Chains A and B, each alone.
Chain A
């Protein structure tokens, strides 16, 4: 048996099956995202993999590390943490940049609370 790993560009392979009937979500699966940010975190990783910027396997390994580090944490939070870790390891996006941008978004005048809560995400310094 010589099963070859499929390239991450396999999206087109799936798309080719889709002419004709495109099933609504409930016909072909359950809704798997509880919150919009989970959808975005999922899509960001897949987009980075699809462009060939990342190997899916590298991300998967980091996901394993994040889940093992905090087994009780909700799955998509581990996913988001793995996304940040891989970006940081590749120097594509440093934690300090994410911290700063998060603060800037929190400061938007939408009645959000400011830095007195929700700000501790383990900056590691």
Chain B
């Protein structure tokens, strides 16, 4: 059973399958998808490392002010997918991608688009906490200085740390090294660093996989509190986590091509409620009921 709050109503009581995870968080029903504002419109995204296809023909939309979870077994291309969304894969020399990623209508996948400009509005939090070996203050302030947001620097740092629910724990030792914090605190520091520069979207690549349950809960609470201001895309291999935090869930899996080559593909994308209670694809059902993965 889940570790989070249980005071919320049981929304998914009318479950038609028996999921391995029971979803019991307070949750507003989603408006119909056509009324939601699109942040990303991804069409036929195919990603290749060297000659190894990592993702094939992914098409989906990501909506504003929602938490979108990407779940699936190891090697299904979840990380590759979200790293496409802010051009982080550009760092890998052998990486190639085809298809379009429209961000508020503008293609960001093209070679002529400056990846630095993309990353300024689409921030990222990584799997392992990776604070800079600088002070807590400078960890948050560095990005602000780089982007020229130097007015009211300490106010911005405080706001970001407060939003990341870390301010009370670190306000008396802002000059201490970011590395002196615990793992959970470090990850919240990384979240503060990401949101300090006021991005539009925050991508999170398994942000809680290296953390203990209590730190994980703190991060999940953060997502609830902050989604009114940002749009989140979160990769997780933890189904409970997706069920707790996400409004929309995309299930990726590994498919085999004609010559037996493995690549990730999007199996099903729908509201979290639908994915966990009434998935339309057998593979999704097998995964969320714990029969596979």
Are A and B subunits of one complex?
no
- Measured CB to CB, the residues of A under 8 A from B are none
